[in-house]
Amino acid sequence: MPMTSPAVRAAAAATVTAVLLAAGCSDGGNGGEDRPKDLAAQQLKWRPCPAPSEAEGGGPAPSPLPGGAKWECSFMDVPLDHSKPDGETIELALIRAPARDAENRIGSLLFNFGGPGASGVHTLPSLASDYDGLRARYDLVSFDPRGVGRSVPVECLDDRELDKQAAEDPTPDDAAEERTFLEGIEKFSAACEENSGGELPYVGTLNAARDMDLMRQVLGDEKLHYFGISYGTELGGVYAHLYPKNVGRAVFDAVVDPTQDSVQGALGQVRGFQLALTNFAEDCLDRGDACRLPGSSVREIEDWITAFLDRLDKKPIRGIGERMLTEGQAANGIIQTLYSQEYWELLEQALDEADGGNGALLMAFSDALNGRSEDGNYSNIQAAGAAIGCVDSKARYTLDEAKAMVPEFRRASPVFGEYLAWAQASCSKWPVPGTWVHPDVSAPGAPPIVLVGNTGDPATPYEGTRAMAEALGKGVAVEVTYEGEGHGSYNSSPCVRKAVNTYLLSGRPPADGTVCK
């Protein structure tokens, strides 16, 4: 089940010391770090970008930008442990597209596309056309956060083991399946500790926010201009809390609710994806005989999907190659298509084909959600997402505690509820403790931060926008609502894009309460 990302999912520091946490939570200015000058003054060596690494998702090197400009990549040194700024350092991978109008350049605009665990170095070029208007006056910059992609990637299971894990039952039905489920959690956690144990305590959101402020300095910007999407809004909120006076022009799209604990957040997502599925079913029924799904009402279509998944639980069907489509993979495939209304027609096709015994299309969507390429290689989004999620959250629910949540989650969604209920045990065997119940994003004194919420967003339900606004504090948030479907708004609504671009390029925020349809 996904967490929060515009295109992909994540599975759900320990030794971030009490001194570090205290400094982060009490500081109201520049974060209080006494950074060595050599890190803040380091000179980045920008070079042509190579092809993305396997951990970033693979594929060809990024194509030239409109007008022929080429993407540039570099690495930046940051402290492994920000409480020990003179200690060991690690490298973060960065990518940028230089501003077209150098004379009127505002600075760098830093993107985080979510996850947690998504590679910004891989994602920014793939979405560059959507943000090209902002390149008029900004260098577009993104990065692989620590633990992600090329930035000291967390490594857990190998590709063969991940294929096996993807085929396992995510909703155990009896004691034997429960033992197998727990063994899978134990195996995954142990592999992460064995392969990346030294980095696991330091990959959380708190350290990523501190990295961004060092990045601001190294890029030569007085203020951090920032565009956070999905989980990137939580990261942006933590940054604003730590460094309110360093916030420049900031936009949060597909806003995470920072006030919820892990169970509340999971229940919100379950309801969000159920709502998206209901809207998909209504859209199908509105097309009358053209709808290929059985049923004459939304309830009948949803009941059919639930029964279809139950059938797969007992007997998987043909997927891609020799792989069989299981219940969990089919649910993942459905979820992936609900991220965007553009995929609804393909979801209908995939369900119709799977009902006839061909699960290839649903499996392809499941693979995309899991970060699996066509050649069988996985990015590290699952490993990184688990590592970041588990070091961020103090929750360590046992299997029995997760099992007890199933009825409530099932009531929230008869289709998706059980999957995310059992997933609450994912951090139960994690080798390092978590940081918080939920992050502190209060940012008194910060300049306006534009929050964009989508009323039909399945992964970050609309209610999170208001919660973030209240948590940031009085006078900080400027809310924009998009009455639409899908995860995020900027790439779906010309109205939202205009409001956001006007703010980022001219400094004039939209009116609080602006509604786009």
Out of 53, 230, 393, 492, pick the active-site residue: 230
Quote the CA–CA distance of 341 and 329 in Å, as a whole number: 20
Note whether 85 and 79 are within 8 A (CB). Answer: yes
230 given a catalytic annotation: yes
Residue 375 among the catalytic residues: no
**Cβ-proximal residues to 103 (8 Å cutoff; 6+ apart), any chain:** none
Rounded-to-integer distance, Cα 50 and Cα 53, Å: 8
User: DSSP strand E in 348-420: where?
Assistant: none
Active site annotation includes 211:
no
In this structure, what token pair is assigned to residue 151?
A: 């930035």
Asked if residue 125 has a cis previous peptide bond (ω within 30° of 0), the answer is no
Can you tell me the distance from the alpha carbon of 99 to that of 134, in angstroms, rounded to the nearest whole number?
A: 8
Mark 125-139 as b/e (b = at least 16 C-beta within 10 Å).
Answer: bebbeebeebbebbb
Q: Within a 13 Å sphere around the CA of 332, how many CA atoms are in the beta-carbon half? A: 32
Q: Tokens representing 176? A: 């034997």
Active-site residue, from 139, 211, 392, 457: 457
Hey, what are 40's tokens?
């803040």
Number of H helices, E strands in the chain: 17, 12
Active-site annotation holder among 122, 225, 438, 487: 487
User: For residue 294, what are the contacts with CB-CB under 8 A and spacing of at least 6?
Assistant: 300, 301, 304
Q: Which residues are catalytic?
A: 230, 457, 487
